[in-house]
Amino acid sequence: MVGATFVVYVCLVVGIGYVAYRRTKNLSDYILGGRRLGSWVTALSASASDMSGWLLLGLPGYAYAAGLEAGWIALGLLIGTYFNWRLVAARLRHFSFIAGDSQTLPEFFEKRFHDESRLLRVVSAIFILLFFLFYTSSGLVAGGKLFNAVFDLPYHWAVTVGALVIVIYTFFGGFLAVSWTDLFQGLLMALALLIVPVMAISNLGGWGATLSTVSEINPAFLNALTNIKSEPLGLLATASLVAWGLGYFGQPHILARFKAIRLVADIPAARRIAVSWVSITLLSAVLIGLVGIGYLEQPLQGADTEKVFILLADALFHPVIAGICLAAILAAIMSTADSQLLVSVAAFTSDLYQPLFRRSASEQELMWTGRFAVLLIAIIALVLAWNPERKVLDLVAYAWAGFGAAFGPALILSLYWRRMNCSGALAGIVVGGLTVIIWKQLGGGLFDLYEIVPGFIFSLLSIVVTSLLTRAPEKAVLQDFDKVSEDFAG
């Protein structure tokens, strides 16, 4: 019965991909949907592609293992969501159009700073491809765990099946397929995240009884200021958790939604929808982990803690309802993995293949190059996901930090600082990305700090110092900036 629900769901999203395929005529349609998304589609597509399978697997698993400590991650993400929509969305939508109707983030940086060398665009594309391989592999790991639990498939078969489903409709439908399915999938994710903890709390005898049960197991689970050993979290640990919010400003798959919205005037409504959705789903995800502590009789260990949502849904509901809840995990996985594949394809096609090899390539050639790049990138991500002991949250954390540090400071300053130049942007992207890569290999003391924090700070400093020590931006660059500033001042 659960399997039948999955089959129906997969057929539905593949059907959406086919309809979108019929409406995809050129590379702009394939990458940004022709910039014609409405508020609801933009908001839920940005949010669903942001949260991915880690929202239903990784975050509940962390809350199950660490208790209310996980609430600091949720708080950081909620703050980051709000400020990303508030500070970045409208200016990026407008500025990306002013800057030569830029389709991708690397193209935006190139045209924003009039970089004729194309070095800024190529370097940006390389970092996007690097970190998205890890991010996409996290979705495939989540898919492997899901198909393993539902169909009792061996992990390697399960992760391969999940990858095939994602690739099929991303290959054909492009951005429209991804965005339309994200609207539906975002609503399904919110529904599943709400009903699972509500039902579990009811079965445990109410909220008070649930807290009492969890407290009897370990009262430290309910203390957000300590770890599960009742030791104070400390400044480094708390900062590392809250700092997840910094990552939002540099996530290419989220920023793509800002560029694709139909009108700047639609953004305030989209922001309210997105922040509301994120608030509900993050709170519910943490609750699922806490409730799982008291509800599940057999304690979960290691990577199996990320199965808490799956086990709760299976224990609480009739197979049909459980199938719908578990389909929400597939929705979360697909809504992010497809977006990541699409942005990776755009980086490969528009920012590497065309600038370096085929400047005169036709729209059809670029679109089909992009489709076959989906296959190549998915295969590499599948190799990274082949180890069943990998944790979804660990893979996401690394990629999230990489994007946040490499692109976050560069994007924010490019939208707000007139004196920033091409050299500063390049320095910030390289320093931020490399800091994350190097910091991750170190450990102990200060190096236990989440790598996004030093990466973001060093990137910001590199941009400011390099821009001030090198030549001021050209007149044409300043004119573009002034045009955007005047439009928003008016």
| H helix intervals, 244-318 | 252-260, 267-295, 308-316
Distance (Å, whole) CA 388 – CA 308: 16
Neighbours of 164 (CB within 10 A): 13
Residue type for position 128: I
Tokens encoding 290: 């806490």
DSSP label at 218? -
What is the reported pLDDT for 473? 95
Q: For 296-339, what is each residue's pLDDT tens digit? A: 988 898 878 988 998 999 899 888 888 877 777 776 676 677 66
Domain membership flag for residue 235? yes
Phi and psi of 414, rounded to 5°?
-65, -25
Contacts (Cβ under 8 Å, ≥6 apart) of 28:
34, 35, 103
Q: For 442-457, what is each residue's pLDDT tens digit? A: 877 788 999 999 999 9
Q: For 29-69, what is each residue's pLDDT tens digit? A: 554 444 556 677 777 767 766 776 778 888 999 999 999 99
Q: Is the dihedral of CA 428, 430, 432, 438 positive or negative?
A: negative
What is the reported pLDDT for 335? 63
Residue 20: name the closest of 146, 227, 160, 181 by CA: 181
CA angle 85, 89, 90 (to 5 degrees): 120
Domain membership flag for residue 428? no
Quick check: 124 and 407 in contact, CB under 8 A? yes
What is the reported pLDDT for 263? 81
For 170, the domain range is: 2-390
DSSP label at 352? I
Domain membership flag for residue 486? no
Helices (H) and strands (E) in the chain, counts: 21, 0
Output the domain CATH number for residue 94: 1.20.1730.10
Quick check: 74 and 307 in contact, CB under 8 A? no
Residue 146: name the closest of 15, 319, 405, 330 by CA: 330
Global confidence as pTM: 0.88
**Tally of domains within the chain:** 1
Contacts (Cβ under 8 Å, ≥6 apart) of 287:
63, 197, 201
Quick check: 25 and 233 in contact, CB under 8 A? no
Q: For 185-224, what is each residue's pLDDT tens digit? A: 677 778 888 999 999 999 999 999 999 999 999 999 999 9
User: Across-strand partners of 269?
Assistant: none
Distance (Å, whole) CA 198 – CA 192: 10
What is the reported pLDDT for 33? 46
What is the reported pLDDT for 170? 62
Domain membership flag for residue 162? yes
Q: With a cut of 70, list the residues of the chain below it in pLDDT.
A: 1-3, 6, 10, 13-38, 45, 48-49, 52, 169-185, 331-332, 334-335, 338-339, 356-361, 363, 367, 490
**Torsion-angle region of 218 (φ positive above 0: left; ψ -120 to 50: alpha; else: beta):** beta
